[in-house]
Structures are given as C-alpha cells and as structure tokens.
Chains A and B, each alone.
Chain A
Amino acid sequence: MLKYFFKRLLHGIPVLFVVATLTFIIMRLVPGGPFDQEKKLPPEILANIEAKYHLDQSVGVQYLFYLKQLVHGDMGPSYKYIGRDVTDIILDTFPVSITLGLLAMLIVVGIGVPVGVWSAYRQNSIVDQVFMFFATLGISIPSFVLGTILVWVMSNKLQWLPPALWEGPRYMILPAIALGAPFTGYVARLIRSTVLEVLASDYIRTARAKGLTETTILLKHTLKNSIFPVISVLGPLTAGLVTGSFVIEFIFSIPGMGSFFITAVTNRDYPLIMGVTLVYAVLIVVANIFVDMIYMWLDPRVRL
C-alpha cells in the first residue's frame, strides 16, 4: 500500500510541473505588474525593487530561477506582504482552509448519504419527493447566494451566529453549511440512484427471501455495494470543496488560502499566486490518490 502511495505520488510530479509552468505563463501574460501604483514610483526605486525580486531579468531566466527555488522547498517572498515568505503565509492560511473543507465534507457525507439511502428505500413516497426536491434545490443554489442568505437571516436578523471572521467553532457553522450544501445535494442524488439499482438486484431479493431484517439488508448488503460511485466522486468532490472555498472565504472574510489567492491575483503578487495554486494542485493530486486507495481497500477486486 505504502509503495503504491509513493508510486502514485511520483506520477503526480509531472502534473505539478505542468501546473507550475502553465500558471507561470498565464500569470506573466496578465496585464499590469506587482509594483504598478496610482502614483508612479521613481524609476530608480522601481529598478531597485525589480532587481531585488529578479524581475529585471528575462521571463525565461525568472522561470528557471523559480523552479530551482521550488525544488529547494522555497516559494520565495511575497511582493505585497513585505517581509513574509509565501511559505509562511501558506502555513498560516492552509489550516483554516482545510478545516473549512473538512467540515463541509462532514456535512456532505453525514447528510447526503443517509438522505439518499432513505429516499431510495422509500422510492416515490412523499419523503423521497421532498428530499429530492431539496437535493435539486441544493445543487442549484450558488454557494455565494446561500452564504448571503445565511448571513442575512442568521446574523443580521436573528443575530445567532457571527457573519464573518474565523475565531472559533461558532464562526465555522455558516461557512461550512454554505460550502457543503451544493455537494450534499449532489451526493444525495447520486447515492439514491445507485441504491435503487442495488435494491433491484438479485442478491437483495435473496437476502429478503432468507428473512434478513430490513436494517441488515439496507445497511450491510445495500449500502456497502452502493457506496462505490460515491467514493469515486470523492476525489473531484474534494477538489470542488477545496477550490470552491474561496467564494465562501470571500463572503465570510475568512483568512484562508482562497482569500489570499483573490487578493494576490488583484495585486499581481506572482509568488503568492504560484504558491497557492501549487498547494491546491498538490491537494487535488493527494486526494485522488487517497480515494483510489480507499477504493482498493473496500473492494478487493480492484488491484493496481
């Protein structure tokens, strides 16, 4: 297993290289530079700053220089947060984003799976229709709209929960719901369809004929066999949660990687843009490896 993990990680390296190169190219094609200001800097000072960050050299040289730095585990200094390294900023913001993502994931799996299973079990009943209606609402509502509604109702009107910032568990509830809801609807719909398929299969009929209780049939025989499609979408789902969080971080003023990415793009803070993009890419690669490993672990037929 461990060998497999490292082998896959090795395969991820070319992908990360492509991500780094593409980001570098696109970033440099973006009009405007990091030190453009309303009031123009004196040319001597600008030249000095540019020399300090190697911006006076050709783009090709800068690219090679960045790669060399990166291989040494150094992502360079931020252009806007003077005196701070990109690595510092990421170490500060990464835990925030990952906490938000994991909480949302908890909601997605904790609510999406039971709702989907129950809907399928009571197919076409009122419960099923209500659940599926809400699931479709869930996948249709943009997270920024849901976030806005939550802030408006829970914070502005009822004043139950704080509308912004990140200073304790109370601050995490609204953002996690806003981030998780669309994916919860998606998972509920997905698992409902696979459970329906499994429930119609011969071995469930056999299980019923044997006289097993409905609970055993549902939890042991059905759920176990219908969870695979959900696991296979967990990879893209994680990616969606992770990269989708920047809107939520924007709305709730959460100091996570997403907020920093948005300001970095606006500021043309090249090293920070690179750093955040790369960390996201690593996250996606690792998440996919984990998903495949869970798959192998649950289904002995899958061998790689």
Chain B
Amino acid sequence: MNILTKLSFGFLGVVFFSAVFAPLVAPYSYETQDTLNTLAIPSFSHLMGTDRLGRDLFSRIIYGARVSLFIGVLTTLLALLIGTIYGSISGYVGGRTDNLMMRIVDIVFALPDMLMIILITVMMGQGVIGIFVALTLVSWVTIARLVRGEVLRLREQAYVEAARALGANSLRIVVREILPNILDLMVVTLTFRIPVAILAESTLSFIGLGIAPPFSSWGTLANEGWKAIKFYPHLILFPSLAIFLTILSFNFLGDWCRDYLDPRKKSLI
C-alpha cells in the first residue's frame, strides 16, 4: 500500500465521517446567515469564507457531502445489484433469452446517457430521488454486460459442472459457485463506478439541472460559485476541490484494490 493509497483512505474516511456526523462536525448549520459577513473571504471564523447570504461555506460543503456521497454510493450499489442479477440470468440461461436480454442492453447503451439523465431528473422534480433513479437507470447496463461475460466464462468450469452433477439447482449454482468467483471484479467495479456517479451528479447540478434548492450538493455549490467567479473565486474553489479530491481518492483506491485483488494483472488499467 503506497502513500497515495493511504492518503486516499484517510481523506475518504474523514469525508465519510463528516458527512454522517455533519451536525457535530460543521461549525454552523447549513442555513445560518451571518449577515454582517456576506461574501467573506476565508478566515478563522469562516474557514472557507461565506456566500452571498452569509452562509458558512465550510459547513455547507460538509452538508453537501451527504448528498454527493449518498448519490454516488447508493446509485452504484443499486446499479451493481440490478446489473448482477440481470447479467447472471442472461449469461447463465443463455440462448434466446440471452440474445433478447442483451439486445435490450444494447439499446440502453445507445442512448445518449447524459441527456437521458437530465430528462429523467427534471421529470422527477430535480430532487435527490430523481437523480438517484436517473443515474441507476443508465448505469446498470455496464455492470450487466461485465457480469454476463464472466458468468458465460465460468459456467463451463469443472467445479460448476461438479455442482450440477451433485444436483444443485441453477439458483444455487449461480449464487454459491459462480458469483463468489467474480466478487473481486465487483469490488473493483464498485470503487471505479462510485466516482463516475459522483461526477455525473455534480456535473448536472453544476449546470443547474441536477439537485435544486433547498438541497445542495457539491455541484450546486460550485454552480453558485461559478456565478461569482470573477470577484469571489473562493466560492467555486472549495466545492470543486471537494469533488476533485474525492473522485481522485476513489480512483487511487480503485487502482490499489485491483492490484491487490488480482496481482496477476498488476498495474493493468
């Protein structure tokens, strides 16, 4: 484990801790207005300065972490669950069912995904739930394809045949024999997909089509900062830094995970 991995672990630990215990960690609430100190630059009383309404940016970033991480982690987990079930069925059953199921995946793949995410999010009212549903709907296909490929490869293995000879039913074979063998792959996929989801959410919120007030994610904060970039660059600096460092940490962690779980493929992508 190199120094970058350790730093990433540490950073993500701090971010997750602050997100979960936001009311305890944040010096102010996310809506307290310090009206004498609007648009203040960073100082001891406001570590990252304040926004147009005098709200403490540091506290707002900590609360924003809740939304950003919640969406990143939960959509990925749900997409993983759906993709795994779908991919296992398709790969294990094979034949016509497989053909049909993969045809559907192909179509979802051909959708211009960011546009679909925007439309679905706006349709569901630009809340946490909307973006959650939108991201899940377009991201499960990647995992379904991956899992299907692996299941297809593994179902011809001798130990699967042995299980079948012992009279195990399909469900048991998939769950007990095949899936444990692709667990590594799934862990690696998870660490690499979480930052993708965080990125998508923050991008949408940045252009104003993601999370709408009163909720705020890091992307929403960056959007507010963007409007004032000329004179108050700190307002966009800190939210951007939060997004960037979090995604970076996940990527370093993913690299490490992949090398650790599969030494044979060391330092492959």
Chain A residues engaging chain B, CB cutoff 8 angstroms: 12, 14-15, 18-19, 22-23, 26-27, 29-31, 123, 136-137, 139-145, 148-149, 151-152, 156, 189-190, 192-193, 196-197, 239, 242-244, 246-247, 250-251, 261-262, 265-266, 273, 276-277, 280-281, 284-285, 288
- Tell yes or no: B240 within 8 A of A by CB: yes
What are the interface flags for B230-249 relative to A under an 8 Å C-beta threshold, 1 for contact and 0 otherwise? 10010010001001100110
**How far does the alpha carbon of A61 sit from the alpha carbon of B200 in the complex, in Å?**
35
Complex formed: what's the CA distance from A26 to B120 in Å? 7
Choose from A266, A273, A281 the contact partner of B111 (Cβ within 8 Å).
A281
The reply to whether B123 and A142 contact each other, CB–CB distance below 8 Å, is no
A142 to B111 Cα, complex, angstroms: 22
Which of B120, B206, B236, B268 is the one whose CB lies under 8 Å from A247?
B206
| Inter-chain contact B107/A15, CB cutoff 8 Å | yes
| CB proximity of B234 to chain A, nearest CB, Å | 11
Query: Would you call A31 and B125 a contact (CB within 8 A)?
Result: yes
**Can you report 23 A-B residue pairs in the complex whose CB atoms are below 8 A from each other?**
A14-B107, A19-B111, A19-B112, A26-B116, A26-B123, A30-B122, A31-B125, A136-B255, A140-B195, A140-B244, A142-B202, A144-B203, A144-B206, A148-B222, A149-B240, A152-B229, A243-B113, A246-B207, A265-B119, A273-B119, A284-B112, A285-B110, A288-B110
**Would you call B114 an interface residue if the criterion is a C-beta within 8 Å of the partner chain's C-beta atoms?**
yes
Q: Kindly provide the distance from the CB of A131 to the nearest chain B CB, expressed in whole angstroms.
A: 13
Known A30-B119, A243-B115, A247-B203; judge A140-B267 contact (CB<8 A).
no
Checking A142, A156, A262 against B230 with a beta-carbon cut-off of 8 angstroms, the contacting residue is: A156
Find out whether the CB atom of A196 lies under 8 angstroms from the CB atom of B267. yes
Q: Does B269 contact A (CB under 8 A)?
A: yes
A245's nearest neighbour on chain B, judged by CB, is B114
Q: How far is the CA of A148 from the CA of B223 in the complex (A)?
A: 11
What is the CA–CA distance of A184 and B240 in the complex, to the nearest angstrom? 20
C-alpha gap A262/B118 in the complex (Å)? 9
**Are A140 and B268 closer than 8 Å at their CB atoms?**
no
Q: Which residue of B lies closest to A144 (CB)?
A: B206
Assess the A193–B111 pair: CB atoms within 8 A.
no
Instruction: Determine if B252 is an interface residue (Cβ-Cβ < 8 Å).
Output: yes
Contact between chains at B122 and A22 (CB < 8 Å): no
A196 vs B267: C-alpha distance in the bound complex, in angstroms? 9
| B110 engages A142 (CB within 8 Å) | no
Within 8 Å CB of B267, what residues of A? Answer: 123, 193, 196
Q: Which of B118, B206, B268, B269 has the most CB of A within 10 A?
A: B269
Instruction: Using known A-B contacts A140-B195, A197-B268, determine if residue A239 contacts B118 with beta carbons closer than 8 Å.
Output: no
A100 to chain B, nearest CB (A): 15
* Known interface pairs A22-B116, A152-B229, A284-B112; A142-B248 also in contact (CB < 8 Å): no
Known interface pairs A26-B120, A265-B119. Does A145 touch B114 (Cβ–Cβ under 8 Å)? no
* Nearest B residue (CB) for A190: B269
B-side contacts of A261, CB under 8 Å: 115, 118
Q: How many residues of B contact A (CB 8 A)?
A: 39
B114 in contact with A243 (CB, 8 Å)? yes
- 4 cross-chain pairs, A with B, having the tightest CB-CB distances, nearest first: A140-B248, A280-B112, A193-B268, A193-B269
Taking the closest CB of chain B, its distance from the CB of A249, in whole angstroms, is 10
With both chains docked as a complex, state the minimum distance between the C-beta of B43 and any C-beta of chain A, in angstroms: 22
Choice from B120, B248, B269 contacting A137 with Cβ under 8 Å: B248
Which of A141, A142, A265 gathers the greatest number of chain B CB atoms within 10 Å? Answer: A142
- CB-CB < 8 A to A265: which residues of B? 118-119, 122, 209
> A142 to B207, Cβ gap below 8 A?
no
Name 5 extra pairs, CB < 8 A, besides A151-B229, A262-B118: A19-B111, A30-B122, A142-B244, A262-B209, A281-B112
In the complex, what residues of B have CB within 8 A of residue A284's CB? 110, 112
- When C-beta atoms are compared, the residue in chain A nearest to B113 turns out to be A243
Contact of A276 among B111, B115, B247 (CB under 8 A): B115
A262 to B267, CA, bound (A): 40
Of A18, A152, A246, A285, which one neighbours B114 at CB under 8 angstroms? Answer: A246
A278's nearest neighbour on chain B, judged by CB, is B112
| A192 cross-chain contacts in B, Cβ below 8 A | 269
Write the nearest CB–CB distance from B197 to chain A, whole angstroms: 12
Would you call A15 and B110 a contact (CB within 8 A)?
yes
B187-234 contacts to A (CB < 8 Å): 195, 199, 202-203, 206-207, 209, 222, 226, 229-230, 233
How far, in whole Å, are A273 and B226 apart by their CA atoms in the complex? 25
A15 to B, closest residue via Cβ:
B110
Q: Within 8 Å CB of A246, what residues of B?
A: 114, 207
